[in-house]
Structure 1
């Protein structure tokens, strides 16, 4: 039990660490007066916080993936895809000094996950979520179909919410939503699926 709890805590840290880093750097960048540093000397002062936060987010994401690889000998598919897009869109944000790219990153990630799950159901007639989590949840085929459909639609909702927030509110509001809005919504949605998992659970022989 102790080992399981330690693994759960480490996974939570690896998941939240980059997001918290992103939020803290964006919130404190002005206080730290980063314009004194070479990389930010020629950057518009108004965009320094989001640029610094993006760089820190990229570094923290790579660090989290590295620790995950060392600790578990593998990197889960979803964090790996998300991390790769963080590097690409974060790099474009810093190179072009345009925060639109990092703001669009959650939209792109969620659309990829939604297209994968929904495309698997309606194009290939397979609940692809079962390929990723079959070792974690033992549920029947109907349960995998329903779970894949619900998560696919949920990812679409997250993509839409991200577009609404970044296009209509300030950068600080978007950063706050990304850290303290998206994660709670995901946790609540995950908990809401417990009845489905229980209803379609496959009885295991002792």
Structure 2
């Protein structure tokens, strides 16, 4: 459900773009992101750092697109967000006791330190590559293709990546469980 909630502004951008064009889509994305953060705060009485980072980037790059009448700013928005997340995940390897991945997922599963390190570094690589792929599509394909990629391509690649992580985690969890049974 959180995954869909996080894609809510992208979906609204897509619909507004298809109906009214890039600039209306951009304005809708800015408004939807503000609404998303406000709704999350009203429901949980707290902010998620990732939502605040995305909000700042959307307002900055969406605002620049609308003020300067140039869609290139908004096309850079996903890349900047991905690269900031990559830097954050990489930095979490060296700052604090646990990486971002371990902090987010340790309540749901238990895994050895090397598994958390690999998962975290996988997210670093994923975010870095997604930033590059976004720029490639933005600069080498028509605007409509980039908009379709922003919704369907990014969502599909993200789902495939998350499923791949599930397979990776399951492999290690099965080994840990089997090892625990042998020790008994």
TM-score, L = length of structure 2: 0.85
**CA RMSD across the alignment:** 2.1
How many residues in Structure 1 have an aligned counterpart in Structure 2? Answer: 175
**Separation in 2, partners of 1:191, 1:111:** 22
Match of 2:73 among 88, 101, 106: 101
**Separation in 2, partners of 1:75, 1:178:** 25
Residue equivalent to 1:76: 48
Match of 2:117 among 137, 145, 149: 145
Please give the secondary structure, in 2, of the residue aligned with 1:160.
helix
Match of 1:163 among 112, 132, 135: 135
**Separation in 2, partners of 1:142, 1:87:** 37
Residue equivalent to 1:50: 22
> Structure 1 residue 23 and structure 2 residue 3: aligned?
no
Judging by fraction of residues, say which structure has more helix. 2
Structure 1 gap ranges (5+): 1-7, 30-48
Deviations 1:126-164 (A, max 9, x none): 633223333344322111101001111011110111010
Structure 2 gap ranges (5+): 178-184
Q: CA, structure 1 residues 187+94, in 2 after alignment: closer, same or farther (shift >3 Å)?
A: same
Please give the secondary structure, in 2, of the residue aligned with 1:181.
helix
Residue equivalent to 1:197: 169
Moved more, 141-150 or 70-79: 70-79
Match of 1:133 among 102, 105, 126: 105
CA contact (8 A) 1:14 1:68 kept: no
**Separation in 1, partners of 2:4, 2:116:** 28
